[in-house]
Structure 1
């Protein structure tokens, strides 16, 4: 995989994992607004939260291995990586807010009469992250550093 793509994918995976972690920690565990899967018992909801949390951490750790490799090769392009983070975070949030909340109906953000306020805020913030991520990624594709092999450091 070329360096520019590795920077982008490392960021995307980190963004997916980070927002998954924030979602799980804040909305599932601290605020108790919902579980990942709310169509069954609380016990099943807690199991689904655990699986979701494990997946989020797996993706985050994998992305950080890619990040470390890019740094070791002196091929990290931070602007592209941050753009990838915003793309991954925005994609996760928009997918969660549209597919999981509205189409699959796995859960709602919060079970209140005026859920539209929460849905709108959730999805608009996702679109903003995607937009900024796209802008950073487009701006960074022509200025990406050239990959250096470890033998170049001698």
Structure 2
């Protein structure tokens, strides 16, 4: 733990709590924008539309549990005055990018549970999706290095 102004900061916990919030937040963006508003895909598209809708509900449930747990843990860090702001920002970006890249590589390409969109050339979508994930991860990595200094 680092000490600052007599307070016990928790850099590791700050990073991981905010990474949880970032991953859950990106899952929410994916669910709301791509599953509901644009209706490009469901979380699991290899079955009936009903199964796809159920899988979206399960993803939404997991994302909400992640957000509630993350905010409770974040509030605890604030209450204890243990939040390391620099590590928290790093964790947020690592979580955002981590979810995005995991979804793009594991869900889309390895497991093939769904694609970003159907009936189109996937290459531009894959490049944009995974590129955004890499960019968010890179920002998180840079912020992590800066926070450790």
Query: Are positions 1:44 and 2:51 aligned together?
Result: yes
Quick one: distance in 1 between partners of 2:97 and 2:137?
5
Q: What's the TM-score, normalizing by structure 1?
A: 0.89
Instruction: Tell me how far apart the structure 2 counterparts of residues 131 and 35 of structure 1 sit (CA, whole Å).
Output: 28
Q: Structure 1 residue 101 and structure 2 residue 87: aligned?
A: no
Asked whether the 8 Å contact 2:12–2:87 carries over to 1, the reply is no
1:123 aligns with 2:149: no
Q: How many residues align?
A: 142
| C-alpha distance in 2 between matches for 1:49 and 1:113 | 22
Which one is further off, 42-51 or 79-88?
A: 79-88
Q: Which residue of 2 aligns with 1:90?
A: 97
Question: After TM superposition, where is structure 1 displaced by more than 4 Å over at least 4 residues in a row?
Answer: none
* Unaligned stretches of 5+ residues in structure 1: 143-154
Secondary structure at the aligned position of 1:88 is classed as helix
Pairwise CA distance, 1:112: 2.7
Tell me the CA shift for residue 31 of structure 1.
0.4
CA distances 1:54-110 after superposition (whole Å, capped 9, x unpaired)? 001101111111110111111212221111011011111111001110111000001
Q: Could you tell which deviates more after superposition, 72-81 or 6-15?
A: 72-81
How far did 1:141 drift?
2.0
Distance 1:46 1:21 in 2: 15
**Counterpart-to-counterpart distance in 1, 2:85 and 2:27:** 22
Alignment-derived partner of residue 148 in structure 1: none
Partner of 1:6: 13
Q: Say what the alpha-carbon RMSD is for the aligned residues.
A: 1.3
Give the distance between the partners of 1:58 and 1:3, measured in 2 at CA: 23
Residue of 110, 116, 121 corresponding to 2:117:
110
> Out of 63, 72, 85, which is 1:65 matched to?
72
